[in-house]
A and B are shown apart, each in its own frame.
Chain A
Amino acid sequence: MKYFIKRDLNEYGPYTLGDLQRYVAQGNISKNDLTRSEGMTDWVPVSQVIGELPAPPPPSVPAAMPSPGETVYSGTPAAAGLAYGAAAAPAVAGPVPPDLQWPLVLLLGMVSCGMFNLVWIFIEAAFVKKLKPDSSHLTLIITGLSIQIGSIIIFYAGVIGLAAASAGRSSNEPPAGIIFLVVLYWLGLLGGAVVNIIGNFKLRDAMVEYYNTVEPINLRMSGVMTFFFNILYFQHHLSRIAAWKKTGYLAPQVYQG
């Protein structure tokens, strides 16, 4: 009996049951993908057809082929990187980027006092780190944020300390150390921001290099957009690439650099 696979709007196949089991074991087909056999009209999850399989072997192509379930950020089926068999699919090797519409990232950031942005930049940076393991962007972003958070903690701890030290005195003058604390606070915030921006540009360089060499889609990314809209701008391109991985259609770039 022959089977067909459906992922998003695309259908692939036909495959034999042996093919299906092999592709699932290799991670090319997710158990959450839909399948139907010849003569069947209903689509059912692949897991219902193939039954329990032994655990898939580790990926044989590092960084180019995620294990099943790797795309946890996207909330979409574990669309494994390598296509379903060479014959059936578009050329979409390589991991699927985290997929969330950028205005939703903006909205979630707004209603969470920016906390969501802190999480999401790491999801983006970790994904790009998979593409270019030797890129320094993740380290820089972590360092920049640590400097900022550290300076905030030092500032508040210092203010509490000064308040405790001057508790017994009657003078209304502010304690001398406060100016030092304020300068340190702003230096920390600005210094952290500079390191962060450098990290964002390294992230952009890593993306541009990967998507012009390993997966050449002629990606161009603007420095101005990277500077002002970093997280949202990266997400715009990552979602565009994720859609391409899932549908085979790559939306054209507005900005051509």
Chain B
Amino acid sequence: MRLTSLQRRANYVLGLALLGGTVLYSFPPQEYHFYPVCPFYAVTHLLCPGCGGTRALYQLLHGNPGEAFRMNALVTLAAPVVVAWFLYWYSAVMLERRLPPIRLHWSAIAVLLVVTGIFVVVRNAGIAFTI
């Protein structure tokens, strides 16, 4: 079967995701330091909403959702949604179905932004979600 250019690109994305997952699974971010450092943390020494995300994904891949949640609650909750959406999108591309657009209601985005903002304040104030 001849693949369209979009299908080829979807395969590249899937390949990259699998490769990244394999590397992350095999090399714990606490021990190996080739993973990119958060530039925001490097400059300000404040935890950004994504800090601890790589470690959280590592724990998720190893089946420890509790530990992942402790590292980064936002990334832990978002990861299954992103994976599910990607699989849905990938199957739509491969089956040549109508592609799902990435579009959220403005109020939903506003809620997510507020939650993210609160998360940043709470973890930097040392109340919860610190690493």
Contacts and interface: CB of A to CB of B under 8 A. Distances in A.
B104 A101 contact: yes
A115 B103 CA distance: 21
A77 B7 CA distance: 12
B96 A45 contact: yes
A234 to B, nearest CB: 17
Interface string B101-117: 11110100110110010
Range for the number of chain A residues in contact with chain B: 20 to 34
Nearest to B36: A115
Contacts of A31: 4, 96
B3 to A, nearest CB: 10
24 contacts: A32-B97, A45-B96, A45-B98, A67-B5, A69-B4, A69-B7, A70-B5, A72-B5, A75-B100, A75-B101, A78-B6, A100-B102, A101-B102, A104-B102, A107-B112, A110-B50, A110-B116, A111-B50, A112-B53, A113-B40, A113-B53, A115-B36, A152-B39, A152-B42
A161 interface: no
A81 interface: no
- Considering residues A69, A100, A106, A114, which has the most beta carbons from chain B within 10 angstroms of its beta carbon? A69
Contacts of A47: 96
A192 to B, nearest CB: 12
Across the A-B interface, give the 10 residue pairs with the lowest CB-CB distance, nearest first: A69-B6, A113-B38, A113-B50, A69-B5, A103-B109, A75-B102, A47-B96, A76-B101, A111-B50, A69-B4
A76 B99 contact: yes
Given A68-B4, A69-B6, A112-B50, A104 B109 contact: yes
Nearest to A71: B6
B44 to A, nearest CB: 12
Range for the number of chain B residues in contact with chain A: 35 or more
Interface string A93-123: 0000001110110110011111100000000
Taking chain A's interface residues, is the majority helix, strand, or loop, or is none over half, making it mixed? Answer: loop
Interface of A: 31-34, 45, 47, 55, 67-70, 72, 74-78, 99-101, 103-104, 106-107, 110-115, 152
Contacts of B48: 110, 113-114
Given A111-B49, A111-B74, A113-B50, A74 B113 contact: no
Contact of A68 (B5, B38, B40, B101): B5
Given A45-B98, A111-B116, A114-B40, A72 B50 contact: no
A32 to B, nearest CB: 6
A47 B40 CA distance: 47
Interface in B75-131: 75, 78, 89, 96-104, 106, 109-110, 112-113, 116
Given A47-B96, A72-B6, A111 B109 contact: no
A114 B98 contact: no
Contact of A55 (B2, B75, B100): B2
A102 to B, nearest CB: 10
A31 B110 CA distance: 35
B104 A111 contact: no
B49 to A, nearest CB: 5
Contacts of A75: 89, 99-102
A113 B40 CA distance: 7
B27 interface: no
Contacts of B5: 67-70, 72
A45 B130 CA distance: 49
A16 B21 CA distance: 48
Contacts of B49: 110-111
